[in-house]
Every structure is written in C-alpha cells, then in structure tokens.
Amino acid sequence: MGRIADVLAKAGHDVLVYEQIVYENIHTNGTELARVLIRAKDFETSASNLTMQEERWSGKKQSLWAMIKSSRFMREDFAKCCRHQIQDKELVARLKSENFDIGIGEPFDACFYGIMEKIGLNNYITALSTALMEHLASLLGIPATPSFLPEHPKLLAFVTHAGMNSVQESAAKGVPLICIPLFADQMRNAKTLEYRKVAIVLDRNELTAEILSDAIRRIIENDSYRKNAKRISSMIANKPMASEERIVKYTEFAAEFGPDLNLELEGRNLNFIQFYCLDIIIPAILAVLSVIYLIYRLVFFVVRKALLFGSKQKVE
C-alpha cells in the first residue's frame, strides 16, 4: 500500500496514508512521499492469539481445533479494532475533511469498507499487497496477478514458508524455491509451486539437516527448476503494461468515473441458488435419478415377469 501511495504521489496526486496501530513493534508504514495519518492503539489484542502465532514458529504441531480457535481470536481482534475506529468521531471528522476523490484499501481487514461508508466515500478501489486471494477472485470473476523481488544474480534458490509475498517475489525474479509451509494458505501455495515444477516442498515436522541439504542439492543440480522459474519470470516481465502505469491509470480512471452501471459485474446481483448454479444442478440430478429409477423399475418388471413366466411353465 505504501508503494502504491508513492507511485500516485510521484504522478502529482495529493495522497494521505491512514494507519491504525495494531502491533507496536512495527515501525514502518511503507511510504516515503505521501502524507501519513496514524491512529494510536487504544484496545487490547488477544493474548491467546499471540501465543498461538508464536507456536506456529516453534515447531509445535497445531491441531485443526487450535487453528480454528486462532482464526476466531483473529476475527475478534479485527472486529474490536474496527469498532474503535468507526466509533472515533474525531477520526471520522478528520477523514471527511480531506474530501477524498477516491479511497484505496485492502480486503484483508474489511474495516476499510466500513470507514469508507462512515465518511460517505462511495468511490474506492480494493488493492492487495499479495496476489488476489482465490475466494475474492472467484466472487469477482477476475484473474489473480503476481508482483516481484529476490533478484541477486548469485541466488540459486529461496528457502521460504511459502507466504504469498515470497511466492510472488520468487516468481517475478525466476528463482526456484524450497518451501517449508507453516499455516494458513502456505500449504496450498507450496503445492501449487510444486505442481508448476519450480519448488520442492518439505514437511516442517519431519525436517532434518539431511533432508534440507538433500533438497538444496536437488534444486541446484536439477536445472529444470531454474528453467521453469525463469519462464514464469519472463511471462511476468513481458506483461503489456507496467505495474506503476497500471496503478496510476486505473486510479485516475476510477476517480473520474466512480461507481458506474457500465462497470458493474452482474454476478453481484445473483442470489445463492443462481450463483452456485443450483437451478441447473438440482434439476439435472433429479433427471438422472429419475432415469435410474425408471431403469430400475423396468428391470424389476422384466425380471419379475420372467420369473413368473418360468414358474408358470414348471407348474404346467
């Protein structure tokens, strides 16, 4: 988000970055050129959630129930954080006074949308610092697009937990990976890379020095990993429009035209039954079951008649 702010500031726009402090140990907001508005933390985060986050890095295997609890604690923290922002009249008044043409925020914390509604700004863009999450891409009906980084020419492989940022960085610079996923989307990310033949995936619960050294040796000696990674990198590098140009042009376009019926996706108006094609799937299933039932009844009728005919002949 900080980089987007700087790109827009370089293009001559007046940009304000708003940041709510959640973790006091983070001391950067990512921007060098934009104005910054920081709101101090005035709420407590869940100690249980922090403990579970630490356990993920300790090598301790987490149960499915522990992951579910961690997700619940995270949702509660997000809700508490958002509630304090929405109810802060001074903050709302300050943001309203800026008279924004457009807002840009991330969907990871849905409070962005609540703040936009609270200050009466209907013109906004959803942006992500990672690739577009699959469930959002599915809902919107649009493809996900990656970004960039690990570019030292002597870098032969990248050992990572397979977070989406690491995946994008390596993909853009053509570096093969050794993935040791920990939690959340990382297991799926790692398997996706393995399927594309640009990564080796290791289980952190079975990791030893021998297993890791063997993986490093394989990824260095087998040139196919690097060739596959370089091909993906080349595809990203040769996109028709540069990322910086896309940010500026689409932001200016959205600021000028705002919410417009010509830009609306019809999919957002579909109900539950239409969205999941249940109006097609259910009748199709019923039709198949009906055919199966009719075949069953026909076979039953034929067999029954045959048996009756056979028994009748014996009696005669």
- Each residue's pLDDT tens digit, 261-300: 777 777 777 888 988 889 999 999 999 999 999 999 999 8
Q: Is the pLDDT of residue 180 over 80?
A: yes
Beta strands in 48-106 (DSSP E): 103-105
CB 232 within 8 A of CB 193: no
Q: Name the helix (H) or strand (E) containing 86.
A: helix 64-86
pLDDT at 132: 64
Q: Is the pLDDT of residue 48 over 60?
A: no
CA proximity to 88, closest of 26, 24, 44, 40: 40
CB 159 within 8 A of CB 166: no
CA proximity to 179, closest of 156, 205, 159, 195: 159
pLDDT at 125: 87
At the second CATH level, the architecture of 158-237 is 3-Layer(aba) Sandwich (3.40)
Task: Look at 129 and 122; give whichever has higher pLDDT.
Answer: 122
pLDDT at 147: 40
d(CA 111, CA 103): 13
End-to-end Cα separation, the chain, in angstroms: 92
User: Which pLDDT band holds residue 242 (cuts at 50, 70, 90)?
Assistant: confident
User: Which pLDDT band holds residue 260 (cuts at 50, 70, 90)?
Assistant: confident
Q: For 298, which DSSP code? A: H
Q: Is the pTM of this model over 0.85?
A: no
Dihedral, 146, 147, 153, 157 alpha carbons, nearest 10: -40
pLDDT at 46: 67
User: Which pLDDT band holds residue 146 (cuts at 50, 70, 90)?
Assistant: very low
Which of 62-76, 128-142, 198-212, 266-280 bottoms out in mean pLDDT, i.e. has the lowest? 128-142
Q: Is the pLDDT of residue 78 over 90?
A: no
Cβ burial of 251 (10 Å; 0-12, 13-18, 19+) is buried
Q: Is the pLDDT of residue 94 over 90?
A: yes
